[in-house]
Amino acid sequence: MLLVGYFEGIDSERGLEWRCADSLSLREFLRLGEREPVPDHSRLSRTRARLPLEVHDAVFTWVLQRLAERGLVRGERIGVDASTMEANAALRAIVRRDGGEGYREMLVRMAKESGIETPTAEDLIRLDRKRKGKTLSNAEWESPTDPDARIAKLKDGRTHLAYKPEHALDLDTGAVVAAEMHSADRGDTATLPDTLASVARHLAAVEAAPSAEVPAEMVPDKGYHSREVLKTLDDGPWKTRIAEPKRDGFSRWHGDDAARRAVVNNRTRLLSGVAHVAFKLRAEVVERSFALILDRGGMRRAWLRGRENLHKRYLIHVAGYNLGLIMRLLTGAGTPRGFQAGVSASLAAIATPDAGLVIILIVVAGDQTAAAVISIAPDPLG
């Protein structure tokens, strides 16, 4: 049912339950009888709570092995990037970590301290707009309903409680080899080591893990560029091609020759034509995965709470994306709806000179074409 959630673009599990109960084809896919009830959303929640994260990761790895059997995992060029996911928690309900005071309660207290005994909603809005030092820090505020959610700016510019999904993709095939769920307040350089460890573990499961003798290219954007990251990855299993941000002035190394050598080596690799091709692929392939998984797949907003709980659902969701690569290889479409939209049929009837009839049926599905020809002979009795 969670795979159906990706292919149908359904975000909530209540909506997933309704869709599976309403569709006869999905009931057949789930191997349910005509009168057998569809598992409800509470059963999905209980099953997810009982199965640890390692089981969901094993399912993701199993799907990755199926891709490797069809040559869809090479492990030669890995693109890394992160996005944001809106959490299932309201920003207006956050409370202080030290005393549990809510945001509205804080505004009411400040209004009374300024001389307004019974502040109205307009007074609170005006006070909140004009007060100095208006910041929301994750070190001071938290959500009582989802403590793992963090205050962050989403991709559309809004400030909200959010999570940070991070993808690592095989740039040659588009397969997601690692999908991690991080706190939204952690920077790219802080989450990269955890994501690379997940990449190495999954590639080892398909016998495509990089090594110091045969390194793989790693192609992130400039948000991942730092001296410590480059120094740690230098002369290891990853050949870094991390975009370098433009900085004014001269770099001061303070005697750190290892960091200087790592930065210069990465800068030299960025000047090659191979790097230009790799960055063009990263911009195309990685951003497409976020568009299909988060936007079209219905995971841009979370309906679950807790980072581990959400990570479990996300791993199965991304596994559906990887299965779509196999579907596209076999049928020319990555989803059942895409395959259905690509199916066309043409019917033609041609009369023969001897009063016979020839019926031609042509069915086109993706890059596959099938034709059937039926010849009807004339009636000898007229």
Between the alpha carbon of residue 67 and those of residues 79, 176, 298, the distances in Å are 18, 10, 23
pLDDT bucket at 130, cuts 50 / 70 / 90: confident
Token digits of residue 233: 């990855």
Between the alpha carbon of residue 102 and those of residues 18, 98, 99, the distances in Å are 36, 11, 9
- Per mean pLDDT, which range of 62-71, 107-116, 155-164, 175-184 is the poorest? 107-116
Closest by Cα among 26, 21, 35 to 8? 26
Q: What's phi and psi for 210, nearest 5 deg?
A: -75, 160
Burial 318-344 (b: 16+ CB within 10 A, else e): bbbbbbbbbbbeebebbbbebbeeeee
Q: What's phi and psi for 110, nearest 5 deg?
A: -65, -35
Chain-centre distance of CA 174, in angstroms?
12
Q: What is the pLDDT of residues 240-286, one digit of tens each?
A: 999 998 887 778 888 889 999 999 999 999 998 999 999 999 999 99
Between the alpha carbon of residue 306 and those of residues 82, 150, 170, the distances in Å are 19, 11, 28
Q: Residue 167: its pLDDT value, please?
A: 96
Alpha carbon distance, N-terminus to C-terminus of the chain = 58
pLDDT bucket at 89, cuts 50 / 70 / 90: very high
At residue 8, does pLDDT exceed 60?
Answer: yes
State what percent of residues in the chain have pLDDT above 90.
Answer: 56
Q: Residue 162: its pLDDT value, please?
A: 96
Please state the rounded mean pLDDT for residues 104-129: 80
* Nearby residues of 316 by Cβ (< 8 Å), 6 or more positions away: 2, 3, 6, 56, 59, 60
Chain-centre distance of CA 327, in angstroms?
18
Please state the rounded mean pLDDT for residues 277-298: 92
Q: What is the pLDDT of residues 168-227, one digit of tens each?
A: 999 999 999 999 999 999 999 999 999 999 999 999 999 999 998 999 999 999 999 999
Q: What is the pLDDT of residues 317-348, one digit of tens each?
A: 999 999 999 998 888 776 776 666 666 667 77
Q: Residue 329: its pLDDT value, please?
A: 87
Residue that has been written with the tokens 């679950």 in this structure: 304
Between the alpha carbon of residue 262 and those of residues 76, 239, 249, 346, the distances in Å are 20, 11, 19, 61
Q: Are 239 and 265 in contact (CB under 8 A)?
A: no
